[in-house]
Amino acid sequence: MAPLALATAESGALDLTGTNQTLVITVAAIALVALVMGFVFRGQVLAADPGTEKMQEIGAAVEEGAQAYLRRQFKTLSVFVVLVPFLLLLLPRTTGRSGPAARSSSSSVRSSPQPSATWA
């Protein structure tokens, strides 16, 4: 089987060979089977008899409850989606140069402090 080549920004191409190619093809095949099964099940549900009048009434009540639940969930989550980024901006941050960027810009030779304890 010929290697799969995918374009990337840095190198121009990404070659998938061996186990990686097998895994990508397997995942793609499983995804396609899942999509086909989803359409088959959708068709079966839509073709099914809606049931008696009482069953339809119960189904409508269940749907109404589910919609109310989802509305409440989205309302609660929207508060977090809006507030959390702003709250994260309020967290204290360092003002001096520290972290990976500061360490990489300093010289490569570093002296480490020696322990001051002496052994008797």
Tens of pLDDT along 69-87? 999 999 999 999 999 999 9
Residue-wise pLDDT for 34-74, tens only, equals: 999 999 999 999 999 989 999 999 999 999 999 999 999 99
pLDDT at 118 over 90: no
Q: Are 7 and 13 in contact (CB under 8 A)?
A: yes
CA separation for the pair 22, 27 (Å, rounded):
9
Q: Are 106 and 100 in contact (CB under 8 A)?
A: no
Sorting pLDDT into bands at 50, 70 and 90, what band is 15? confident
* Extents of the domains making up the chain: 12-48, 50-80
